[in-house]
């Protein structure tokens, strides 16, 4: 009936139906594409490639980590395919998330700025923000104020929560390293006095690099940040967040989350 009304209206206006038909067909294709995009048939994932036990690439090149385990369990139970792109740099993944080119980041800290753009899940892990120092060049750290006057480094593009991010920008002498997996190089060569990293991220790098006799984490942590999924608001899969939250609760209550965390923590490569 809709097509008939369009044809009749076109004839009344003196417009040839042969010119109207392509427009109708194109409109139908666009509407069909929009309808298809409203269905979550595949969850496309971005995230950190070396953040054990949250998300990382294993020795076989496959995506692993507690974030991937949760999403894999959910997609298998709901007949949804899962596509993971941890090889994409973090900053680029955030841009793709905002544009709706990927559906979710496999692990992120909460910030008020991000919450205005993205949708967070319930937390499923927590990570301490730690100060890492060389064993031969230690200084006392009682709070973040203790870092004033010392040179430090942190990964480029990441966040450690609103307070630490603002304090670091306003008060600290900080290098933003584009290569998070080699960030300890500038600590070992004396270019900086400390490195600011999440405990999991830092201990993973220490273990993988075999430098646990040279680099230590200074207690206590500066902060404890919860780790959550971060979904694109434009993703058709964002409507699944509530059900993913239910799964997170079930996995936590059963102790499965703790088992996955323990499994994905790295072992030291030092001799």
Q: 199 and 75: one domain?
A: no
CA dist., res. 207 & res. 187, Å (int):
15
What's this model's pTM, rounded to 2 decimal places? Answer: 0.77
Q: 15 and 63: one domain?
A: no
* Enclosing domain of residue 20: 2-37
Mutual angle of helices 256-264 and 66-77, in 10-degree steps: 130
Residue 18 lies in a domain: yes
C-alpha to C-alpha distances, 127 to 199, 222, 225, 255, nearest whole angstrom: 6, 11, 5, 18
pLDDT digits (tens, 9 = 90+) for 185-216: 999 999 999 999 999 889 888 988 899 999 99
Q: How many domains does the structure of the chain reveal? A: 3
| pLDDT at residue 26, rounded to an integer | 32
Tell me which H or E stretch contains 260: helix 256-264
CB 85 within 8 A of CB 94: no
Q: Which residues of 179-201 are buried (b: 16+ CB within 10 A; e: fewer)?
A: ebbebbebbeeeebbbbbbbbbb
| pLDDT at residue 156, rounded to an integer | 83
Query: Quick one: tokens of 143?
Result: 């709070």
Min mean pLDDT across 72-76, 154-158, 160-164, 195-199 is at 154-158
Residue 6: pLDDT over 80: no
DSSP state of 196: E
Residue 20 lies in a domain: yes
Q: 122 and 139: one domain?
A: no
CB 132 within 8 A of CB 180: no
CATH of the domain at 115: 3.40.190.10
Residue 37: pLDDT over 90: no
Mutual angle of helices 17-37 and 2-12, in 10-degree steps: 150
| pLDDT at residue 191, rounded to an integer | 96
| pLDDT at residue 200, rounded to an integer | 86
Residue 177: pLDDT over 90: no
Q: 105 and 235: one domain?
A: yes
Residue 269 lies in a domain: no
pLDDT digits (tens, 9 = 90+) for 42-95: 999 999 998 889 999 998 999 999 999 999 999 999 999 999 999 999 989 999
CA dist., res. 196 & res. 178, Å (int):
14
CA dist., res. 227 & res. 67, Å (int):
9
Q: 172 and 219: one domain?
A: yes
| pLDDT at residue 247, rounded to an integer | 99
| pLDDT at residue 266, rounded to an integer | 74
Q: 118 and 251: one domain?
A: yes
Residue 259 lies in a domain: yes
């Amino acid at each position: 009936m809709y097509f008939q009304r369009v044809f009749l209206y076109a004839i009344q206006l003196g417009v040839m139906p042969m010119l109207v038909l392509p427009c109708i067909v194109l409109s139908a294709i666009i509407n069909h594409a929009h309808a298809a995009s409203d269905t979550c048939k595949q969850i496309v994932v971005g995230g950190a490639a070396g953040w054990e036990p949250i998300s990382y690439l294993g020795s076989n090149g496959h995506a692993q980590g507690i974030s991937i385990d949760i999403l894999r369990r959910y997609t298998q139970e709901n007949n949804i395919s899962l596509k993971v792109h941890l090889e994409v740099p973090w900053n680029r993944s955030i841009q793709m998330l905002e544009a709706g080119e990927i559906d979710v980041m496999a692990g992120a800290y909460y910030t008020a700025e991000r919450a205005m753009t993205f949708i967070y899940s319930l937390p499923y892990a927590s990570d301490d923000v730690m100060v890492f120092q060389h064993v031969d060049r230690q200084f006392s750290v009682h709070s973040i104020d203790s870092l004033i006057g010392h040179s430090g480094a942190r990964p480029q593009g990441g966040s450690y929560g609103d307070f630490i991010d603002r304090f670091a920008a306003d008060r600290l002498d900080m290098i933003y390293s584009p290569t998070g997996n080699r960030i300890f190089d500038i600590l070992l060569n004396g270019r900086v006095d400390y490195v600011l990293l999440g405990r999991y991220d830092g201990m993973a790098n220490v273990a993988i690099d075999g430098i646990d006799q040279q680099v230590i984490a200074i207690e206590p942590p500066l902060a404890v940040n919860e780790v959550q999924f971060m979904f694109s608001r434009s993703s058709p899969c964002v409507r699944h967040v509530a059900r993913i939250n239910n799964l997170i609760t079930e996995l936590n209550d059963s102790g499965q989350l703790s088992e996955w965390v323990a499994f994905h923590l790295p072992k030291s490569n030092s001799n």
